[in-house]
Amino acid sequence: MQKNITALLLCILLFAYSTSSHAGQTKEKVLLDSDMTEAFDDGIAMLLLAGAPNVELLGVTTLSGNSWVETGTACALRQLEEGGYTDIPVAKGLEYPLRPNRHDLFTLERKFVGRGHDYWVGSLDLKEPASWQAAYKAVYGQNPTMKPVDRHAVQFIIDTVRANPGEVTIAAIGPLGNLALAVRMAPDIVPLIKRVVYMGGAFFQQGNVTPAAEFNWYFDPEAARIAVRSPFREQLVLGLDLCEKVIFRAEHYDRFLKAIGDHPVRKMVRASFAGQSFEKDPNFTFFIWDVLVSAVIIDPSLITESVECFIDVNDQMGLSYGQGLAYPVEPPLGTQKARIVTAVDTERFWNLLCDPGYWKGKKQ
């Protein structure tokens, strides 16, 4: 009798262990904060995390940046629907950056600060949809089956971190307004966050949207400064110093299409700017920014070089507005340490992204 009870208890423990882990590995709890787009790059970054067996994607929070938050929210919902990940909550977040009237004054601002090597300025140059439902209907010609949770993204971040103390990795792949407001509204969450992995900044090279600044941090420099100056346990930064070294070529695009097979997002990938460009011109090249964040969360051993510095963001409106700053020594008061990733094993990165195992759709 005693033996039977022990065997039963052992089975229960084994079952609990196997459902909470992948091949004996505990799942990484991730909250994705994104200025969502279809496919490359935010959409693929999201679906890669959703399909990773060693990741539990706790939710997706959206905000304006690449696109207006209404469009980004619609795209997040649609891609999760297409992938069968309808249990992953989406919370809609900030519409505007913290500095007032940024969108209204952007044409003047551009004349004042000049352009970097990328043309794209996202929602700064796009007409705002009336609602996420209108954006969904306009893009997909039908009504959604999912809807965002009934909570603002800022509150969703706060609640999720408090419910999983010390366990949540925040993948911050857009501007940092949601995160900045979350830490201002609830400073108690700062030490409860396991780490923040950012796509943002250009520290040792030129920016993309202006000669000084990278898009995500330029979009909302005030918010970015609040976020990176928060005393998080760990900050990992994938700026342009890394992202512009990893070149996305037609050979990778072909391998990727092969890997995703008939995954329902295939048509979005082919219709995306990157997809269309590769299909027209085999010499086209692109970057893959946010996808690198997901990849290093899934497999941190991809990182081959990084530097530890104190970091900051310039929030003084001027030519270097939004610039990422790194201080190896004697940092300004209030700045915090971060690890800036400067190289990854690119071959292993493409192998990971083009592994069909991640592209089966809904986890079994």
Q: Tell me the window of 47-55, 178-186, 214-222, 256-264 that interacts with ligand RIB (CB under 6 A).
A: 214-222
Does residue 345 have a cis peptide bond before it, meaning omega lies within 30 degrees of 0? no
Dihedral over Cα of 132, 297, 166, 15: its sign: positive
- Amino acid symbol at 20: S
192 or 298: whose CB is closer to Ca ion?
298
Q: Is 42 in the site for ligand RIB (CB under 6 A)?
A: yes
If you write DSSP's letter for every residue of 310-353 in order, what string do you get? EEEE--SSSTTTT-EEEESSSPPTT-EEEEEEEEE-HHHHHHHH
Min dist CB 126 to ligand RIB, Å, is: 12
51 or 174: whose CB is closer to Ca ion?
174
Which among Ca ion, ligand RIB, none contacts residue 70 (Cβ within 5 to 8 A by kind)?
A: none
3-state secondary structure of 356: helix
Q: Is 294 in the site for ligand RIB (CB under 6 A)?
A: no
Number of residues that bind ligand RIB (CB under 6 A): 12
Residue 324 forms beta bridges with which residues? Answer: 313
According to CB under 5 A, which one of 174, 175, 177, 201 is a site residue for Ca ion? 174
Q: Within a 10 A sphere around the Cβ of 118, how many other Cβ atoms?
A: 14
Which contacts (CB < 8 Å, 24+ apart) does range 151-155 have?
Answer: 151/91, 152/91, 152/92, 152/93, 153/33, 153/61, 153/62, 153/63, 153/91, 153/92, 153/93, 153/94, 153/178, 154/93, 154/94, 154/178, 154/181, 154/182, 154/185, 155/91
43 or 83: whose CB is closer to Ca ion?
43
Q: Is 172 in the site for ligand RIB (CB under 6 A)?
A: no
Q: Is 216 in the site for ligand RIB (CB under 6 A)?
A: yes
Q: Is 173 in the site for ligand RIB (CB under 6 A)?
A: yes
Q: Is 214 in the site for Ca ion (CB under 5 A)?
A: no
Q: Is 171 in the site for Ca ion (CB under 5 A)?
A: no
Distance CA 251, CA 357 (A): 19
253 or 289: whose CB is closer to ligand RIB?
289
Q: Is 38 in the site for ligand RIB (CB under 6 A)?
A: no
Report the residue number whose CB is nearest to ligand RIB: 215
Helix (H) or strand (E) holding 179: helix 177-185
Q: Tell me the window of 97-105, 208-216, 244-252, 298-306 that interacts with ligand RIB (CB under 6 A).
A: 208-216
Q: Is 42 in the site for Ca ion (CB under 5 A)?
A: yes
Dihedral over Cα of 157, 159, 162, 164: its sign: negative
Residues 273-292 that bind ligand RIB (CB under 6 A): 289-290
Min dist CB 65 to Ca ion, Å, is: 6
Q: Tell me the window of 68-76, 179-187, 190-198, 209-217 that interacts with ligand RIB (CB under 6 A).
A: 209-217
- Amino acid symbol at 346: T
Q: Which residues of 4-18 are buried (b: 16+ CB within 10 A; e: fewer)?
A: eeeeeeeeeeeeeee
Min dist CB 21 to ligand RIB, Å, is: 30
Residues that bind ligand RIB (CB under 6 A): 41-42, 66, 173-174, 199, 208, 214-216, 289-290
